[in-house]
A and B are shown apart, each in its own frame.
Chain A
Amino acid sequence: MSNELKILLLDDEHIVGKRLKPALEKIGCSVEVFQDPLEAIKRIEEKEFDIVVTDIYMEGMDGMQVLEKVHAKCPKTKIIMITGYAMISLARDAMEKGAFDFIAKPFKPDDLRKIIAKAAEALGSPIDFSASGN
Chain B
Amino acid sequence: MQGKPGHFSKPSLNRPGFVLFTSHPDGETTINGWIEMETENQQREEKGTDVKNPKTDKESSDFTMKNLYGHMEDIQKAQQTLMARYHFSVRRQIYIGNVVVFLFAALIAVILILNNEQVQTRLEFLEFVNDFSSEIQQARRYEKNYFLYGTNLDDAIENIHLANLIFTKESETFSELQDQVTRQEILKKINAYEALLGELLQNQKADVPLPMNTPHASKEIETRLRGYGQDILASAQSMMTVEKRALERALKRSRDIHIYSIIVLLVILALNSYLLVGRIYSTLNRFASYAQRIASGDFRPILPKRKFRDEFTDLAVAINEMIKEIDTREAVLIQTHKMRAVGTLTAGVAHELNNPLNNIMLTVHMLMEDYHDMPDDERMEMLEDVIKETDRSRKIIRNLLDFARESSSAMESVDLEELLKGTVHLLENQIRLSGISIEIQFTDDLPRIHGDAQKLQQVFVNLLLNAIDASSKGQKIQVMGCLGEKGDSVKVNVVDYGHGIPKHILSSVFDPFFTTKPKGRGTGLGLSVSQGIVAKHGGTIKAKSDKGSGSCFTVILPVITFPEFESFHL
Whether B365 contacts A110 by the Cβ 8 Å rule is yes
Q: How far is the CA of A26 from the CA of B358 in the complex (A)?
A: 20
**Complex CA distance for A133 and B371, rounded to whole angstroms:** 12
Total number of A-B contacts with CB less than 8 angstroms?
A: 65
A75 to chain B, nearest CB (A): 26
> B361 at interface (Cβ–Cβ under 8 A)?
yes
| A15-B362, A86-B351 as given contacts; A105 in contact with B432, CB under 8 Å | no
Whether the Cβ atoms of A106 and B360 lie closer than 8 Å is: yes
B369–A19 CB distance below 8 A: no
Number of residues of chain A lying within 8 A (CB) of chain B? 24
Interface residues on B, range: 20 to 34
Q: Does B208 contact A (CB under 8 A)?
A: no
Question: When each residue 355-369 of chain B gets 1 if its CB lies under 8 Å from chain A and 0 otherwise, what string results?
Answer: 101111111011001
The answer to whether B366 touches A85 (Cβ under 8 A) is no
Separation in Å of the B275 CB from the closest CB of chain A? 71
B-contact bits for A11-53, CB 8 A (1 contact / 0 none): 0010110011011000000000000000000000000000000
Interchain CB contact (< 8 A) of B357 among A23, A59, A106, A134: A106
Q: Which residues of B contact A129 (CB under 8 A)?
A: none
Which residues in window 466-515 of B have CB below 8 A to A?
Answer: none
A15-B389 Cα distance, complex, nearest whole Å: 10
Taking a contact as CB atoms under 8 Å apart, the answer to whether A108 and B359 are in contact is no
**Is A87 a contact of B358 with CB atoms below 8 Å?**
no
Look across to chain A and name the residue whose beta carbon is closest to the beta carbon of B381.
A18
Q: Which residues of A contact B370 (CB under 8 A)?
A: 22
Whether A109 lies near B354 (C-beta < 8 A) is no
**Which single member of B351, B363, B365 contacts A87 (CB below 8 Å)?**
B351
Q: Are B361 and A85 in contact (CB under 8 A)?
A: no
Other-chain residue from A23, A105, A133, A134 in contact with B358 (beta carbon distance below 8 A): A105
Known: A23-B362, A107-B361, A134-B369; 4 extra A-B contacts, CB below 8 A, are A15-B389, A85-B354, A106-B361, A133-B369
Residues of A within 8 A of B (CB): 13, 15-16, 19-20, 22-23, 57, 59, 62, 84-87, 104-110, 132-134
Could you list some 29 contacts between A and B, CB below 8 A? Answer: A13-B358, A13-B359, A15-B362, A15-B385, A16-B358, A16-B359, A19-B362, A19-B363, A23-B365, A23-B366, A23-B369, A59-B432, A62-B435, A84-B350, A84-B355, A85-B354, A86-B347, A86-B350, A86-B351, A104-B354, A105-B354, A105-B355, A106-B354, A106-B357, A106-B360, A106-B361, A106-B362, A109-B362, A109-B366
Residues of chain B whose beta carbon lies under 8 Å from any beta carbon of chain A: 347, 350-352, 354-355, 357-363, 365-366, 369-370, 385, 389, 432-433, 435
